[in-house]
Amino acid sequence: MTDRVARAVAAAVAVARAHGLPVEDPVLLNDGANAVVHLRPAPVVARVATTTAWLRADVSQHFAREVALAGALSAAGAAVVPPSDLLPPGPHSADGLTVSFWRHVELLPEPPTAAEAGAALGELHAVLAGMPPLWDGSALDTPLADLAAFARQGTALGADPALVERTAELTSLLAPLLAGPAMTLHGDPHPGNLLRTTDGLRWTDLEDTTRGPRGWDLACLRTTRRLDGRAAVDALPEPMTEDELAPFVRLRQLHVAAWWSVHATRVPADRPEADARLAAAVAEVSAGLGAARPGRG
């Protein structure tokens, strides 16, 4: 266990015990931008932001949105993993880290199919469409703010400065094209965030939630490499065409590439993959927009 992960586990345990939760055998479930820890024997999972802060200066804002939305969705009967009801779900701060707490669910090994993922997102959107805004914010503020942060921090993350600059230019060109009625979105509904549990499929990881056109959520599903994204989108009650999805897909390509640079700070061996993904995203989005650099040919 790295020092970063050990610090995250210790922070989660400290907050949980301070609220009277018995924690004897914490186990790391996942080490990503957040460390996910099962606080055994309690049926509680902690999410602790570790490298998230590279692109999000105010991690607590995103955690607060996630807890609020997951709580509201759970109360409305939506298929989401709910915040814990055994202690305040947070967000909490410990040792400079942001922590939230969630109900532990029993997982089954089979990943969702394309048809299941599309149908599940359609069901989630049906509930989200009827919910009032839970926070103030501009359309798609989460991915756009992440990419603005990447424009400032990307070189420090090890990305090619020219590609960082080009990513910022392309984001500016895409922003006016991201049209459509605003609703509350999951924000990152790829199949890895759709868990098959003993109680059925459940969405998790709402940290990227934002308000904006539903095309953003569909683009997240369309671009997944985990299953046939086109088939998944077609399984929604109201699918979108490739042309309709195009600006959202392009924004998603840049957004994913930016987060790969964050991932490479955690796993240096993946730096070549991060660099390749950023170069590919910039090339594909540039070609798709037919966009020459300002003042150049």
Dmax of the chain from CA atoms? 65
Residues in CB range of 248: below 8 A, 6 or more apart = 178, 213, 215, 216, 218, 219
Q: Please give the DSSP secondary-structure letter assigned to residue 198.
A: T
- Boundary-marking domain end, from 54, 69, 103: 103
User: Dihedrals φ, ψ of 282, to 5°?
Assistant: -60, -45
Q: Do 93 and 206 belong to one domain? A: no
Let me know whether 170 and 233 are in one domain: yes
Q: Residue 296 domain-assigned?
A: no
Domain encompassing residue 50: 3-103
Rounded to whole angstroms, the Cα distance separating 244 from 97 reads: 39
If asked whether residues 132 and 85 sit together in one domain, one would say no
243 domain residue, yes or no: yes
Q: What percentage of the chain has pLDDT greater than the value 90?
A: 92
Report the distance separating Cα 131 and Cα 126, nearest Å. 9
| DSSP one-letter string for 257-273 | HHHHHHHHHH-GGGHHH
Tens digits of per-residue pLDDT, 263-282?
999 899 999 999 999 999 99
132-142, pLDDT tens digit by residue? 999 988 999 99
Instruction: Report yes or no on 294 lying in a domain.
Output: no
CATH code: domain of residue 157: 3.90.1200.10
Among residues 83, 103, 123, which one ends one of the domains? 103
Mean pLDDT, all residues of the chain: 94
Q: Does some domain include residue 108?
A: no
Distance of CA 287 to the CA centre of its chain: 26
pLDDT in tens, 229-251: 999 999 999 999 999 999 999 99
Domain co-membership, 91 together with 212: no
Q: How confident is the model at residue 296 (pLDDT cuts 50, 70, 90)?
A: very low
> Is residue 297 pLDDT above 60, yes or no?
no
| CA 102 – CA 42 distance, rounded (Å) | 11
In total, how many domains does the chain have? 2
User: Is the dihedral angle over the CA atoms 227, 102, 267, 160 positive or is it negative?
Assistant: positive
